[in-house]
């Protein structure tokens, strides 16, 4: 397969745990995706008819139904497997520019979709996605799914809730218990405080952490021993990649612009079902311990033997 990312981009991803992969969709394609997303948001969580193809989950991720402490209600619309409700989104999960890059970043030629996930932060009152790592929140599959793609359909900038990431944090193991203690950080001006109170794990000293995604032999991972969060603005139609142990999150959106973003989380062919629960686990059609490669139609294969799969073909707007 032809290489999508440069060697320099791959090296940067290995070191930092994330990378902006550059333009993926042109202006017209991005506008079409945004219109399709708004069509589905308009249908709403309760608007799909019985038997109609629909997302697996459609909810406010924050659970914020009331204004709290005088602050506005701040939802984040989370739509899991929008690809199941929309031919346009279905075609996007097969995009060779995404699939080829994930193959390069994981070093694996066989990939399938774990699930996709829209996070739409409405204008003026969009909620926060608090600091987290992905892999610890996906207990149903092991080994962890290594890399996700993230595409905004409008510019994702600091003021409308672009993601933040912590360089090198993908080499610090599972720190979700610590991150759970920092869900108070929700605003743009608070987000860089994530490192306060964090005790850095021993990285080079045989703690076992180094094995969690890094095989540099200590040459690089010894350098990233400070929590230095960075903003990750992504322009409309660009694709951004992150490792499933990279610390990340996105603050509230108080700007006049919505922030529509789609994550596509991919599995490599060594993933197995653990039997543990997740919103996707009810759709897994294999037994505990078996390979996810046979998990059924909710987990499409997008790359086989190093070649991106074509996908369902010509995209037409659904009615
Ligand atoms: O859309 C966001 O702000 C967060 C997305 C996210 O957490 C992810 O892609 O893993």
Candidate from 117, 122, 258 with most ligand 1 atoms within 8 A of CB, to mutate: 117
Reported confidence tier of residue 201, pLDDT bands at 50, 70, 90: confident
For residue 249, give the H/E element and its range. strand 248-250
Closest protein CA for atom 5 of ligand 1: 263
- Contact between 122 and 60 (Cβ < 8 Å): no
Closest protein CA for atom 1 of ligand 1: 119
Q: DSSP string spanning 278-296?
A: -TTGGG--S-TTSBGGGS-
- Residue 12, pLDDT score: 96
Residue 244 has pLDDT above 90, yes or no: yes
Q: Answer with the residue of higher pLDDT: 138 or 69.
A: 138
Reported confidence tier of residue 206, pLDDT bands at 50, 70, 90: very low
Q: What is the pLDDT of residues 164-181, one digit of tens each?
A: 999 999 999 999 999 999
Q: What is the pLDDT of residues 49-69, one digit of tens each?
A: 999 999 999 988 877 655 545
Q: What is the pLDDT of residues 279-296, one digit of tens each?
A: 999 999 999 999 999 999
Cα-to-centroid distance, 195 and ligand 1 (Å): 19
> What does the block give as tokens for 288?
């505990």
- Residue 316, pLDDT score: 46
- Residue 257, pLDDT score: 97
For residue 42, give the H/E element and its range. helix 27-43
Domains and CATH numbers, the chain: 7-44+52-308 (2.60.120.620)
- Residue 65, pLDDT score: 57
Cα-to-centroid distance, 249 and ligand 1 (Å): 6
Ligand 1 lining (C-beta closer than 6 Å):
119, 129, 134, 148, 150, 163, 248, 250, 261, 263
């Amino acid at each position: 397969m032809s290489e999508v990312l440069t060697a320099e981009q791959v090296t940067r991803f290995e070191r930092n745990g994330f990378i902006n992969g550059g333009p993926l969709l042109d202006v017209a394609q991005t506008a079409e995706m945004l219109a399709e997303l708004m069509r589905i948001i308009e249908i709403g969580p309760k608007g799909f008819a019985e038997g109609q193809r629909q997302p697996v989950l459609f909810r406010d991720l924050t659970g914020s139904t009331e204004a709290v402490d005088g602050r506005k209600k701040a939802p984040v619309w989370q739509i899991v497997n929008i690809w199941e409700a929309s031919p346009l989104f279905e075609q996007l999960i097969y995009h060779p520019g995404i699939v080829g890059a994930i193959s390069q970043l994981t070093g694996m030629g066989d990939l399938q979709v774990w699930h996709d996930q829209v996070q739409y932060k409405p204008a003026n009152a969009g909620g926060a996605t608090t600091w987290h790592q992905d892999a610890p929140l996906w207990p149903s599959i092991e080994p962890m799914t290594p890399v996700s793609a993230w595409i905004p359909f409008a510019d994702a900038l600091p003021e409308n809730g672009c993601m933040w990431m912590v360089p090198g944090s993908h080499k610090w193991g599972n720190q979700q218990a610590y991150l759970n203690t920092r869900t108070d950080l929700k605003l743009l001006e608070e987000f860089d405080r994530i490192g306060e109170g964090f005790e850095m794990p021993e990285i080079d000293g045989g703690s076992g952490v180094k094995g969690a995604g890094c095989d540099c032999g200590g040459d690089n991972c010894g350098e990233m021993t400070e929590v230095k969060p960075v903003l990750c603005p992504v322009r409309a139609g660009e694709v951004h990649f992150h490792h499933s142990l990279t610390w990340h999150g996105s603050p509230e959106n108080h700007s006049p612009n919505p922030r529509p973003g789609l994550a596509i989380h991919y599995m490599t062919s060594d993933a197995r079902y653990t039997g543990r629960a997740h919103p996707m686990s009810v759709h897994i059609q294999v037994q505990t311990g078996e390979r996810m490669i046979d998990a059924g139609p909710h987990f499409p294969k997008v790359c086989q033997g190093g070649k991106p799969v074509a996908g369902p073909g010509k995209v037409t707007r659904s009615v």
